[in-house]
Amino acid sequence: MPRLKLSNRARQTPPSPIRRLAHLAERAKKDGKSVYHLNIGQPDIHSPVEFFDAVRTFSDPVLAYDRSQGNELLCRVWADYMNRCLGLNLSAEQFMVTMGASEALVFLFMTCCDPGDEVIIFDPTYANYIGFAAVAGVTLVPILSDLEHNFALPSYEKIEAQITNRTRAILLCSPNNPTGTVYSPEEIQELLAICEDYNIFLVVDETYREFVYDGLEPFSVLQLAPGSRRVIVVDSLSKRFSLCGARIGCFVTWNEEVLATTLNIAQARLAAPTLEQAASAHMLQTVSDEYLSRVRREFEMRRDVLFQALEQIPGMMAYKPKGAFYSIVQLPVDDAEKFAMFLLSEFALDGKTTFVAPASGFYMQNGRGQNKVRVAYVLESHELEHAVAVLRAGLEAYPGRTE
């Protein structure tokens, strides 16, 4: 039978760099090795009990569809939560609840762009932006931010040089996945100025907003531009409350036209999950502030443990991040993907190995990130220490080591 044709869009969507080597990890486990997963940002902290309590006591006789724009109570309490933490004055009408930040990003690409329109992003980038853009037919225009300059944002002029008559938005992730960078209000203000000068949207993915360290306070672009119709914030409960599996996210904007237009798309997919929205609303109303303070302290401590261990590796280079729970680490190898494969397939220390994500998959520009990996510090401190000890011993045993 002649081959059935599939779309270029689907075939050109790159596989996730986080999961690309997962089959090797599976094989390592079948062969009896334990694997430290530093490759994926799946937090191990327990989700708030308040969420599960609400699931257990859910008493509607039918699990019906909720509103397409999101559960009314959830929109209200999410607004209350942001108003309380950030000193804002949002109302429920400015929210659109989605299936994770992921769906919010797909919706926004579809609402703000026609196929072939462009969105500026910063390289390295959260790799799934590439998949979301492919699905929506949007062209991402990457501008490099580099490890040598702590992944600071490029200058106004460098960004301006990439703007064309097809540019519709700048998309920033802060605190950043995969670099851990927390951009300052001044840097974000500068982006806002460019967006104003060129009349384009500024979309900020604040999935990791509360994960900030070294005395920094959670910050939102909404604080810089109250009432702005140009600013859209993407948010999620996945990381903040260890609720990745609930698939609850949202976007927030003062732009009624964006909300009303996206609603047409949201109606076509009917609704986000009812039970998880109800449980999230209950949780946001009842969880104590101490839950998040504890989570934040724990990740800050893990970051410090990770860096103390990484600093023992000769030839390693990394920028100590101030937020999220990731770091891009340069290793003394030419091809970090081959090294990651070696760790999974050929190496173990005391029956254990470490899974890191090759950083090349987080760069849109080919050939970048070849000697780097992304590390997610989502394990307890003693496991992190051992995972890095495995990495270090693996480097010593690796024939492709450059130093």
Ligand X SMILES: Cc1ncc(COP(=O)(O)O)c(C=O)c1O
Binding-site ranges for ligand X (CB under 6 A): 41, 100-102, 126, 173, 177, 205, 207, 236, 238, 244, 249
- Spatial contact of 77 and 283, defined as CB atoms under 8 Å apart: no
Question: CB of 6: closest distance to ligand X in angstroms?
Answer: 25
Indicate the residue among 205 and 383 with the shorter CB distance to ligand X.
Answer: 205
Indicate the residue among 102 and 371 with the shorter CB distance to ligand X.
Answer: 102
Indicate the residue among 33 and 247 with the shorter CB distance to ligand X.
Answer: 247
| Among 207, 150, 149, CA closest to 175 | 207
Indicate the residue among 359 and 389 with the shorter CB distance to ligand X.
Answer: 359
DSSP 8-state assignment for residue 45: S
The three-class DSSP label of residue 80 is helix
Question: CB of 62: closest distance to ligand X in angstroms?
Answer: 27
Indicate the residue among 142 and 394 with the shorter CB distance to ligand X.
Answer: 142
The set of residues, in sequence order, having a beta carbon less than 8 Å from that of 243 and lying 6+ positions away, is 47, 51, 237, 280
Question: CB of 3: closest distance to ligand X in angstroms?
Answer: 33
| Among 149, 175, 183, 155, CA closest to 319 | 149
Indicate the residue among 233 and 349 with the shorter CB distance to ligand X.
Answer: 233
Q: From start to end of 315-368, where are the E strands?
A: 317-318, 326-330, 352-355, 357-358
Indicate the residue among 241 and 398 with the shorter CB distance to ligand X.
Answer: 241
Question: CB of 16: closest distance to ligand X in angstroms?
Answer: 10
The CB density around residue 87, as the number of other CB atoms within 10 Å, is 10
Give φ, ψ of 172 to 5 degrees.
-120, 145
Indicate the residue among 48 and 100 with the shorter CB distance to ligand X.
Answer: 100
Sign for the pseudo-dihedral over CA of 312, 382, 398, 328: negative
Q: Which residue is nearest to ligand X (CB)?
A: 100
Question: CB of 205: closest distance to ligand X in angstroms?
Answer: 5
Indicate the residue among 33 and 209 with the shorter CB distance to ligand X.
Answer: 209
Question: CB of 362: closest distance to ligand X in angstroms?
Answer: 11
Give φ, ψ of 114 to 5 degrees.
-95, 160
State the alpha helices, DSSP H only, in 46-205.
Answer: 49-57, 72-86, 100-112, 128-136, 156-160, 185-198
Question: CB of 132: closest distance to ligand X in angstroms?
Answer: 9
The set of residues, in sequence order, having a beta carbon less than 8 Å from that of 374 and lying 6+ positions away, is 17, 39, 124, 178, 326, 327, 328, 329, 356, 357, 358, 359, 362
The span from the CA of 117 to the CA of 100, in Å, is 24
* Maximum distance among all Cα pairs of the chain, rounded to whole angstroms: 65
Question: CB of 246: closest distance to ligand X in angstroms?
Answer: 9
Instruction: Give the pairing type, strands 372-376 and 139-144.
Output: unpaired
Question: CB of 180: closest distance to ligand X in angstroms?
Answer: 11
Indicate the residue among 33 and 240 with the shorter CB distance to ligand X.
Answer: 240
The span from the CA of 256 to the CA of 177, in Å, is 29
The span from the CA of 255 to the CA of 250, in Å, is 14
Question: CB of 376: closest distance to ligand X in angstroms?
Answer: 9
